[in-house]
Structures are given as C-alpha cells and as structure tokens.
Amino acid sequence: MSTRTAPHEEKKQDAMSTMTPTRAPHSDTPSGHQAGTGRVGTGMFDPRQLAASLPEACRKLDPRVMVKSPVMFVVEVGSAVTTGLALADPADWFGWVITAWLWLTVLFANLAEAVAEGRGKAQADTLRKAKTDAVARRLSKDGAEEEVPGTGLRVGDLVVCEAGDIIPGDGDVVEGVASVDESAITGESAPVIRESGGDRSAVTGGTKVLSDRIVVRITTKPGETFIDRMINLVEGAARQKTPNEIALNILLASLTIVFLLAVVTLKPFAGYAGADRQTPLLVLTALLVCLIPTTIGALLSAIGIAGMDRLVQRNVLAMSGRAVEAAGDVSTLLLDKTGTITLGNRQAAEFVPVGGVGAEEVADAAQLSSLADETPEGRSVVVLAKERHGLREREQGELEHAEWVPFTAQTRMSGVDLTEEGAVRRVRKGAAGAVFAWVGDRGGSIPDEADEITRRISEAGGTPLVVAAEEAEGARVLGVIHLKDVVKEGMRERFAELRRMGIKTVMITGDNALTAKAIAEEAGVDDFLAEATPEDKMALIKREQAGGRLVAMTGDGTNDAPALAQADVGVAMNTGTSAAKEAGNMVDLDSNPTKLIEIVEIGKQLLITRGALTTFSIANDVAKYFAIIPAMFTVAYPSLDKLNIMALSSPQSAILSAVVFNALIIVALVPLALRGVRYRPMSADRMLRRNLGIYGLGGLIAPSIGIKLIDLLLSLVPGLG
C-alpha cells in the first residue's frame, strides 16, 4: 500500500477520470484546444479558409513542387503547352477556354492540398500561442539557483519549478510532486499530478505548475521540445509520404505514362485516317488530361494530411504518416492492464460478513478503521460504506476520545481505539494474516468461513482485507473487504468492437496467472500475458509479427519503451515517461489508452478513403472516354457516333464539357477527402463490393450526368451548339 496523502491521490483520480474520449468515434468535431481554431468538419467551403489557402495554392504551381506529384505535373505541362498554342493563335477562343480550365484543374488540385495543410497551420497557430519563452531557475552543482532564459537550457540541466511557474522545457521530475495544468497542450481543464520516481514523471515545456515544488531534469534541446515537434507535425512541415502513398503514386505515374503513349500514337493514326484536323495538339492535350487519373492525383496528398489532422482533432499526435497507415492494418493489440484496462488503484467492491454478523455492522467497522488510512484503498472503503449502506463519513474531530492507528508496513493494519463510557473498543482492518494474528493474540478464534472467503477472493484476482473488533466479549472477526482492480466502464463493449474489426486483444500484466485470468474474463479481452517482463512483451510482439500481423501497443512506463519501439504502432501516453514517448510513434495527449480504437478507425478510414477515391477516379475516365473519342473521330468514322451515348451537341462542346467536369469534380470531392469515408467494421470482400458498388458505379454515372449538364449549358453559347 502507498503512504502518499489522500489529497494527492484524489487529485490523481480526478485527473484520470477526465481521460475519456470527448467525442463519438466518427465525429469530426474537434474538442479541447482544437475547438478554438474555428475549423469545421470539411473545412473546404469556408470563404476565409479558401482565401487563406489560395496564395499557397498559387505558390505550389512551381514546377519544382509539382514534380513531386507526377500526374498533376503532366497536367501543368499540358497547361503550359496549350497556353503556348493559345498565344500562337490569339483569335482561337476555344483554345483560351481549354487553357483556362486546364490551369484551374492544376490550381484546384493545389488548393485541396493547401486547405488540408491550412487546417494543420490553424492548429499550429494555437500551439504557438501556448508556447512561451519562460525564464528558468537552473540549479548549479552546489545547489544554488540562477535565472537563465528557457532557450539557454541544455540536456541534463536541473531546474526548479514552484506554484505559478511555467515549466521551461521538456523533462522528467526528479524531486517532489506537484499539480500541473496541461490545458495548453491537451485541452483538458483538470490538473494532473506529476511526481518523481514513477511512470508519471514526464513534464512538457509550456505547461504550468499549480502547487508545490518540483525539480525537473531537462531531456530535450531548445527548439526540439514536444510542443515544437507538435507544431512542425500538425502544419505538415515534417510529413513524409507513406509506403502506401508512394506505391499509389507509382501506379498513377504508370497509368499516366500508358495514357501518354496512347495519346501520342493517336496523332499519326488520325493523320492516316484523314482526321488530322479534328485532332490538333490542343485536343490531344485535353484528352490526355481527362484520361489520366487526375482526380486521385489531385486529392492524394490532401487525404494523407487530413488523416493526420483527424488524429490531432482527437488529441493524438502521430510522429509520421506511416504510423497512421499502419494503424489501419493492425490485427493484434497489446494493452497494459494497470491504468489501461483497469483504473490502476485497488478499490473496495464488497463487504462480506462472517459468522452471522450483519453487512451494515461490517461496513461501519470497516469505515471506522479506514478513517486514518490515507491510501486510495482506505479512501475507497469509506466511500463504499457511504454509497452502499448510507453511512455518513465521520470526521476524525467528531471522535474526541479516539486513538488512531495508522497503517504501517510492519503491522499491515490500520484502525482505531474508541473509548465510550469507560469501555474500550478496538477495530482493526488489514491483511488477513496480520488481523488473524491480532485476533488470536487477544484470545479470539478464526472462523473457517473467514479463511474460505479470503481464499476465494484471492483466487478471483482480488485482495481480501479482514475486519475485526475487540469488545467486552472478546476479539472476533467481523467480515472481509473485497478489494479489486476495477475494470474501466465500457471496456467490454470496446473490446467487442475491436473483435468485430478483426483485431485480437491481448492484456499484459505483471500479476499472477489467476489474477490476470479473472480480470481478462471481466474485461472481455481475447488473451492475456501474465507475469510479463519487458523481454516477454518483446517476444510476444516479434512472435505476432513473424506471423505476418501488424501489432499495436499502448504504454507509459520506461519498461514499455522497448516494446513500443518494436510495435508497428506504439502509442505512448502523454502522462508517461520521456523514454516511452520517444520510443512510440504516436502520443496520446489525453492519456486515454482505450483511444487506440479510434486510432485504428482513423487508420482504416484513411486507407478506405484512398481506395474509394482511386476507384472513383479510374471509373471516371470511362465516361470522359465516351465524350472525347467520338468527338475526335466521328468526322472520319461516322459510325463512331454510336459511342456518343451522352448525345453531346458538338465535338467542341464534348471536349470542353469533359475538361470542365474534370476540374470541377476535384473541388466537389475535396470535402470527402478531408472528412474521409466513414469506416464500418466489415470483411475485406464486402468492403471491396461496397467500394465498387458506390464509388465504382458512381464514377461511371456522375461524369455522364455532369458532362451532359455542362454540355446543355454550353449548347446555349453561339458557335458551340
């Protein structure tokens, strides 16, 4: 049992109680400090957002930037070619219109990426406001304090922080305990406890000490603090393309080369067929731009940025896009028991009477004996007696003649000696062996029932505390308090949801196998690893990975760091040690380990969105093919007019309608790319059928309708009808 004072423990429990998701899994509404950025779910049709993003979209027209996206680079080159052709024949208004819409296609693609990045920059601006250049009180080797700028601190420096001070840099508490306001980082208003010597020793630069005094050892260089890394990551400065994104870029580049070769061969073919006049370079360029996968090429980067942004909205910082992508393919999830699946502190769950004693009498004696016990377990006994039996918590001042017996590691008991009307009543509560010995020393007997109850509680994974009293009739055992590590509310439902996703859950604990089995069954996890050492965790992760599975793990302690580094997705708690946060590739600012479910959903949503829009983009090209090819060759081959299934009014109108639709569809799909396709747990086969049915079929129908509507509008223009 801990001997820490109750006020600190209660603050810790209050802080832990705030660490729950503040939104539904599929909600797009930010919470916490993100709510102050003024962003909306889609973020596209906000005029201020568009105005702010337009200059950046224009800057991205630089060919050195565009070449990173092969598809859109080809569109830009095509736009430059048509611009030259239009300048060569200024009177050709058709050439100018085609050129204008091709440039708009490139601009819209850049605007999609700029809007996605703008959402991150809005978040970064909020973080910069939280960042202050604090003055640090650095300790010298002789223990003297000196004031230095926070930027002058180096790794290993010791700084003193007291109530009201801003912590000048990231570090670990090496002395003391304090209440810290982290709302500037996490958005949570409730303070948290930071203390030396445990897994809650890490502090973040820019947060504020509310009480007491701590000494912090600095662990990062100036400019490389956690908040600096957050700013760089959320505004996209450190974003790298993921393997999946790179592979898709290669596919798109390959398709672009194939269509480029196909379009190049059309020129000599048209000359041979006598349709050379209907296939000028301007029309061939328009055909190429419409046939290559411009839609997904334009939105690919925005999808990746938006995936990381959705994590930030949920107070999770991903160190790389690769981690977000890997989360979508996770099949095994390792969860630490203490503080993750359970609350972490043993709580009183039940009063079990012995030998015909009433439950209320046991509760009354247990409460009395716990008034001097400031451990979390002792406080929970008082609370349970009040809630279960309506017993009011009595202040120590009310019991004037009471002599309090505090808990010690030697006696393993706590209690009280009450003097009433000259008679002394002694009440004790503690470990079974210690209390049984106390009763025996005073001539009392130990009922077999008490032995049986304590054994049963132990086998169920709980901790039995025996309550006894010595009165005029002698010493006797009154009952047993059942202490248990309480499983967090809603955990069974959460694990059932993970199971529907096809994800196996494994609980990791240092407890014995009996305790681990009981808690695993109560929580509803698929498997457990008992008496786990850091080496055992590593071995389990490697064994799962050897079977072709991607593994995710949450952790907060230094002993979790090797496993977090080995896991494909390592989510470190912000309340954890610096070593854990450095080892993981994600940090949960709310320190809510169950949020890993949302992280997996966001990863899957990213992959599904990318697949859905790729399907739509490729299907899109079929309708454009039926719009432009007949327009190019119907004069030479009148029978090709049968391919004009949309009954477009003229060749010029058909080509222009396809180009205009090709540009506008990018704008129309930007909100979907930023918000993401909603994830629903289902098999891969069913998901493929759904994608083909919605986005494949939609990719065929939408362009046909859109191109026809644009053609009807253009038919009203003289010379195009």
State the Cα–Cα distance between residues 314 and 292, nearest whole angstrom. 36
User: Contact, 69 vs 249, CB < 8 A?
Assistant: yes
Which of 28, 171, 20, 39 is CA-nearest to residue 593? 20
**Neighbouring C-beta atoms of residue 151, cutoff 10 Å:** 13
The two three-digit tokens of residue 382, written as one number: 């008082």
| Whole-angstrom distance, CA of residue 206 vs CA of residue 232 | 16
- Residue 513's identity, in one-letter code, is A
User: Among residues 332, 393, 284, which one has the least CA distance to residue 552?
Assistant: 332
d(CA 222, CA 224): 5
Instruction: Quote the radius of gyration of the chain (alpha carbons, Å).
Output: 34
Cβ–Cβ under 8 Å, residues 413 and 435: yes
* Phi-psi region at 344: left, alpha or beta (left = phi > 0; alpha = psi -120 to 50): left
Q: What CA–CA distance (Å, rounded) separates 257 from 263?
A: 10
What is the distance, to the nearest Å, from the Cα of residue 630 to the centroid of all Cα atoms in its chain? 50
Helix (H) or strand (E) run with residue 60 in it: none
Reduced to 3 states, what is the DSSP secondary structure of residue 680? Answer: coil
Token pair recorded at residue 389: 């039996």
Contact 95, 85 (CB under 8 A): yes
Structure tokens at 209: 């000490």
Q: CA-CA distance, 83 to 99, in Å (whole number)?
A: 6
Question: Pick the catalytic residue: 336, 560, 621, 711?
Answer: 336
DSSP state, residue 338: B
| CB 66, CB 107: distance < 8 Å | no
Structural contact between residues 164 and 71, judged by C-beta atoms closer than 8 angstroms: no
Instruction: Identify the H or E element spanning 111.
Output: helix 93-130
**Minimal CA–CA distance to 706: which of 654, 670, 671?**
654
| 28 in active site | no
Secondary structure of 348-385 in HEC code, one letter for each residue: EEEEEECCCCCHHHHHHHHHHHHCCCCCHHHHHHHHHH
Location of structure tokens 């109530």: 163
Distance of alpha carbon 325 from alpha carbon 243, whole angstroms: 9
Distance CA 326, CA 348 (A): 40
Report DSSP letters for 378-413, one per residue: HHHHHHHHHHHH-PPPPPGGG-TT-EEE---TTT-E
Which residues are catalytic, by number? 336
